[in-house]
Amino acid sequence: ALLAASQAAAQSVVGTAYGFAGGATGGADGEVVTASSMDELATLLGDDTARTVVIDQEFDFTGTTGTEAGCDRKSCSVDNGGQLYLGDLSCGSSDNVAVSSITYDTAGPDAIKVGSNKSILGLGKGKLVGKGLSLNKGASNVIIQGLEFTNVNPGIVWGGDLLDFQGSNDGVWVDHNKFSLAGRMFIVSHYDASRLTISNNEFDGTTTASATCNGNHYWTMMFYGDGDQVTLDKNYYHDVSGRAPKLGEDGAKGTFQAVNNLFSNMKGHAFDAYDSATALIEGNAFEGVAQPNTEKAAGSKLLYTVPDEAAASACTSALGRACAVNAVDSASGKLAALKAESVLATLGAVKGSLVEPLAADKVAAYVKANAGPANLGA
């Protein structure tokens, strides 16, 4: 009986969902099933029945190829370390050169569908190769923990995303996973409001096929569901060059807290924010980041980057605590000093979902020691 209890504990979620995904329980009320094949995995994840799905091995979906027309970039060609672009969504400009036949793994654009009430557990050893996960529109109460996502057509934009939310995904906790080698986005949310927490993950942008031709993956993450509420906490972003993260879209409102994250060795930009994205950016560490934010983000009237101790103290009336100043090292560019007071009012209305910041000078060591599937339970 004791052995059975310990085995059950070893196949359950570590910790409790928090932040904007607070309250998510995943498949806690259902049976625990270990996926034994790729077909079984798709079946177990696709419905809305409460279930804990354990992935304790590598599932490799690569090997079945197709061809399609697309284009290359003159300014950043494949020969110079760039990516190809499948189809015509990114083609047609004067910077493009038509490519009549691009070979790609057909599994990549066809992600595994995920329904509601699921705990998807990699236990620090589960790995999805060549195919990502896609939460169905309206799927809610999902926990994804301890998995590695990798090798989804990394040389080909539109070759697939690693994790995408189709919209209206209420209560999703993505924790202690690793993301690398994607054709397009590591994580993306679409169109309709979702409530998400992305925590303790590693986003490894090291690649030989970069849209920015600098060995850094560009398509890191973007959230443009209208009404998205997203917590980004204690994540490790490194060797990425853009959209790390991209917040909002013209006409799509979102509310974000980015706290305790480490941005490291980045040749491009971290925060890209549209005018309708309200974001509190506090207690993050930037080490060797060329652009902590884009020029567009620097012009935003809805960002609060806690530029100094006075701005940190100003949080107290709305949030019930001081905010944490961000740490930007001398090898990084400048983080724009933004302190839109409306951000504090907006975040104050949901302060029960906000994460307490660490001191920014403690963030780098903490994140390096705790992020990713290998550090689950550390």
CA-CA-CA-CA torsion sign (208, 214, 220, 225): negative
CA-CA-CA-CA torsion sign (295, 278, 280, 202): negative
Residue 321 is among the residues annotated as catalytic for this protein: no
CA-CA-CA-CA torsion sign (361, 283, 312, 333): positive
- Bridge partners of residue 142, in order along the sequence: 118, 172
Q: What does the alpha-carbon distance between residue 336 and residue 269 come to, in Å, rounded to a whole number?
A: 12
CA-CA-CA-CA torsion sign (19, 23, 28, 33): negative
Q: Which residues are catalytic?
A: 243
